[in-house]
Amino acid sequence: MTRYVLRRVLLLAITLLLTSALLFVLTQLLPGDVARLILGREARPEALEALREQLGLNQPPLQQYTSWLTRFVMGDWGTSFANGGAPIRPLVMARVADSFKLALMTLVFAVPLSIALGVVAGLRENKPIDAAISFGSLAVVGLPEFVTGLVLINVFALGLGWFPASASPPDANIRDWFYQLTLPAVTASLVLLAYIVRLTRAGVIDELKKSYVRTATLKGLPQRVVLFKHVLRNALLPTITVIALSFGWLIGGLIVIENVFSYPGIGRLIVAAVERKDIPLLQAVVMMTVFFFALANLLADLVYALLNPRIRLE
């Protein structure tokens, strides 16, 4: 198991290293002068030269990359020119914390409902309720995120007044979590719903057809015991892996939802960095997004290895 963990951690490090190299190359390929992109066309030559010196743009590309990567690993992420020269690291980490809250709330809504619907559909294979769940989940996930978000805002925020139209990072109060994050979390949950439902349904159907289930049933075990003690333990293995991967995606992939609800997460920060041509901020945000996705991938593999010991030998 230790060798497996070390191998996965090494792959994570290689992934981040390749991402950093690709990200650096892409920023180097941007048309025009990076310093002029940041300061604008009317910038004076003295200001442009000072910014090039500050960013190390006068150095050879390989030296620029190694210098930037070393400073990034050591925690020096530079300053954001679009935010008045504010340090990038505290800004990004604050947004990561807010995105983490939204991702966590999304899983609170999505996981129990999706698994419950998938189990019911699997137990009632080819029955009307199975068809209804499958059709309904696919119909809901087929709606664009901004459409779902706007519908929820019009109904529950502007119409009923139950929730705010724009979400803010919640306080420690559980009530404030539900008040601020319900609408964006429900919108994000609908994106995951169909995939988790169908994966759980397929796992349940596959396990119900195996011989050990028939043996347990013939021994007189109650269906509840067979389902929860035997079937779900094996059927939910792929689902748990997908849920862990989804958490990494939720940290940095909710750009549309965060913009619809004006939520200050990492997705909105990516958009702001692109719009304002803030290259140092964009590099830091992309690196952190990839890091959390790769970390979620690592955790998913470790959870799967713990639940399925056979994977450790492969």
pLDDT band of residue 239 (cuts 50, 70, 90) is confident
Enter the tokens of residue 32. 């025009």
The whole-chain average pLDDT of the chain stands at: 81
Distance between CA atoms of residues 256 and 51, nearest Å = 32
pLDDT for the residue 176? 86
List helix spans (H) across 56-173.
Answer: 61-73, 88-123, 128-141, 145-152
Residues in the chain, overall count: 314
Query: 275-287, pLDDT tens digit by residue?
Result: 777 778 888 888 8
* 95-115 average pLDDT score: 89
User: 70-84, 165-179, 296-310: which has the highest mean pLDDT?
Assistant: 165-179
pLDDT for the residue 40? 67
pLDDT band of residue 207 (cuts 50, 70, 90) is confident
pLDDT band of residue 308 (cuts 50, 70, 90) is low
Nearest CA-CA partner of 79 in 54, 61, 104, 46: 54
Burial class of 280 by CB neighbour count within 10 A (0 to 12, 13 to 18, 19+): buried
* 168-192 average pLDDT score: 86
Res 314 pLDDT > 60: no
pLDDT band of residue 29 (cuts 50, 70, 90) is confident
Res 307 pLDDT > 80: no
Report the predicted TM-score, pTM, of the whole model to 2 decimal places: 0.80
Residues 6+ positions from 267 with CB-CB distance below 8 Å:
99, 252, 253, 254, 255, 256, 257, 258, 259
Q: Enumerate domains of the chain plus CATH numbers.
A: 31-76 (no CATH), 90-313 (1.10.3720.10)
pLDDT for the residue 34? 66
pLDDT band of residue 265 (cuts 50, 70, 90) is confident
